[in-house]
Chain A
Amino acid sequence: MRWLLLKDLQILRRSPLQAALLVAYPILIAVLVGFAISRSPEKPRVALLNEIPSDSRVTVGRSQLPKIGVNDRICARVECVQAGSRAEAEDEVRSGDVLAALILPADLVDRINSLSTPFPKTPAVEVIVNEDDPVKARLVDDRIEALLAQANLVIARRIATEGGRFLGLVLNGGDVHVLGQTIEILGLRNTGRILEKVRPALPPGELRHSVDRMIRFTALARNNLDTAAPLLTRLTQPIAVRKQSVSGSSPPLETFAIAVAATFTLAFVVVLLVAGSLALEREENAFPRLTRGLISRSELLTEKVALGVIAGLAVTVLMLAGLAVFVPLHWSRFGLWLLAILAGGAALGAAGAALGAAAREVRAVSLLAFMITLPVAFLSLIPSGTLGSGLQDAVDVITALFPFKPALDAMESALDPAGPGLGTALIHLAILIGAYGLLARFALRRFATT
């Protein structure tokens, strides 16, 4: 078997262009897919024109809120491109360099401050978009809405905090500083105490009755205002989110993207190589000669799968090593990487052997392998819950029948220290190795007779 393996490697060496394409093309696809996943609309480029004077502060009543840091908050969620003027911002959008432009007008803070006056004005920000692309337009709408919701929430929280402080003063009393002077606020609690001390000294009659009414009022007001403060805070975010994961924690996006890239590479290298080299035995008319006692059909299949696994292992590890320059990977888990690549490679190789036994020519089988592997790989990347139940079930079945998804699961588990164990994915892959091995063995019977 090793001589056949050596022969296949010699043939690969004799076809440098094909070998280079076999390695370069999957890596190109893998890198593109990984890039698309990791760069997807997470941080769109947005031009930002902030015309708000730097000394502007949002005030509540007569209190100034601390500086909010609008620029920092926005730029934490989008990739900011600072614009110097409205015209510049418009040019950036028109040229497609940015997805949208966000203009914070100079009077924005004044308008926010007017909300607590008898003559409120509506604060507004301006968004410039280029809507020639509907997907991009929707993305911008979603992103800007999210940004504004966050800004509104921040302001509401600050207002609620200040409101709560004022309520505290009304309840418990304290000092307020206005125009350089300190004013003492007595507060309902102290008022009630004073009145209770004064009451015994009053003669029974109308005056004492009135003091009793005042004492009851302060107690009633105090009790009700006690609940107002937390209510005010809750108003800013009445519904809280409690997130519970039922299937372990998801890996960081970069890790997932690397797992996808590695699995793409492994899948294409292994499936194409195994299917192609098996079909080559038929194209070169060598199959009958080989299986006439020189080597058994099972040995031939094993050799082809081994060839695919060796090539896939080398290319995938090299690619991971290359990616590790840009993204930190846990080299301490290298043993698990190898396990995932070997198991995934063997299952993909078995699938490649089944495909290779189904076609007469290398070109036909390469096309077939490509036509099956690519859509199945993309189906495997569809997040669960994004399709209708019937369609999702169909996708789940298809992706479970081809080794790409379990190979991806194994790779994710191997790369992510916080991820689930490799066990389930390895069992799935082992079942597929057996199933595709039998299928390939059966297909080879047809191989020999046609």
Chain B
Amino acid sequence: MIEARKLVRRFGEREALKGVDFEAWAGELVAVIGPNGAGKTTLLSILAGIAKASSGEVHVPAGEVGWVPQQAALYRRLTVEENLLLFARLEKHPDPAASVKEMLELTGLAERRGEIVARLSGGNQQRINIAIGLLARPSALLLDEPSVGLDPRQRARLWEFVSALAETRGTTVIFSTHDIQEAERYGRRLLVLADGEALFDGSAGALREAVRREAPEAADSDFETAFVAFLHHRGH
């Protein structure tokens, strides 16, 4: 379980997070959504241990959180296999070659293992990016806008892969996204952040209900329009 209590993160005078409470359970797929500057990346960075909170508490399983940054953190001049092997060795896997083989099969990139990463599509690079995040065999995986720059087909393959992680391995997956339809489709739970505040935490259906109560004029609109109306009603 991942748990955060009253998380505050300040950058000088500005508060990027204002006392956010959050938890995620094993096998959950949680989408963190919100406008630009809402604090999505900041929250994920703190959960991943990349950044420190100014105050508040974070409880994450020690060494069991995989981190997949927004932009692929890969060495583009190395091959797919060399990238995986490097991080497997740095993770001190007892049998790095076996771990690499497993990840190549999981990501469906076994046949392209010898290709230089720079020559792969953005979608395939993102799959390696995620595979590296999974090398530590984490019980939780944090993905910061993983589908940015991918075409619809690549997105579909990515979400199929990520969903399978949660369903078959019981991995807790927390991802941030700007794509509201994507969050509705793949997120089992949505955390809505705006200006550092957590405005909503629940399922997509529950968010629809909240819109119906607070902004009935947008209740029957598409999910994105309803979401914008919800934010507007909450003063954002």
Contact = CB atoms under 8 A, between A and B. Distances in A.
Contacts of B82: 7, 10
B50 A288 contact: yes
B76 A289 contact: no
B69 A285 contact: yes
B22 interface: no
B99 interface: no
Nearest to A295: B90
A289 B73 contact: yes
Nearest to A287: B73
Which 6 A-B residue pairings sit nearest by Cβ, starting from the closest? Answer: A285-B73, A294-B90, A289-B73, A3-B89, A14-B77, A285-B71
Nearest to A285: B73
Q: Chain B CB within 10 Å — which of A10, A11, A289, A295 has the most?
A: A289
A3 B50 contact: no
B67 interface: yes
B113 to A, nearest CB: 15
Contacts of B72: 285
B211 interface: no
A7 B71 contact: no
A286 interface: yes
Contacts of A286: 73-75
Contacts of B51: 449
Given A288-B50, A289-B132, A11 B78 contact: yes
Interface string B104-146: 0000000000001000000000000000100000000000000
21 contacts: A3-B89, A4-B86, A4-B90, A7-B75, A7-B82, A10-B77, A11-B75, A14-B78, A15-B77, A284-B74, A284-B76, A285-B69, A285-B73, A286-B73, A286-B74, A286-B75, A288-B67, A290-B90, A292-B49, A293-B63, A294-B87
B78 A288 contact: no
Q: Chain A CB within 10 Å — which of B72, B75, B82 has the most?
A: B75
Given A289-B132, A292-B50, A294-B87, A7 B73 contact: no
A278 to B, nearest CB: 14
Q: Chain B CB within 10 Å — which of A14, A15, A448 has the most?
A: A14
Band of interface residues on A: 20 to 34
A4 B83 CA distance: 11
Interface of A: 3-4, 6-7, 10-11, 14-15, 284-286, 288-290, 292-295, 448-449
Contacts of B89: 3
B91 interface: yes
Contacts of B20: none
A293 B77 contact: no
Given A14-B116, A288-B50, A294 B75 contact: no
Interface of B: 48-51, 63, 67, 69, 71-78, 82, 86-87, 89-91, 116, 132
Nearest to B96: A3
Nearest to B74: A284
B189 to A, nearest CB: 25
Contacts of A11: 75, 77-78
Nearest to A289: B73
B211 to A, nearest CB: 36
B69 A289 contact: yes
A154 B216 CA distance: 113
A284 B75 contact: yes
A3 B69 contact: no
A7 to B, nearest CB: 5
A294 B91 contact: yes
Given A4-B86, A292-B67, A293-B63, 19 more contacts: A3-B89, A3-B90, A6-B86, A7-B78, A7-B86, A10-B78, A10-B82, A11-B75, A15-B77, A284-B73, A284-B75, A285-B73, A288-B50, A288-B69, A289-B73, A292-B48, A294-B87, A294-B90, A295-B90
Contacts of B76: 284
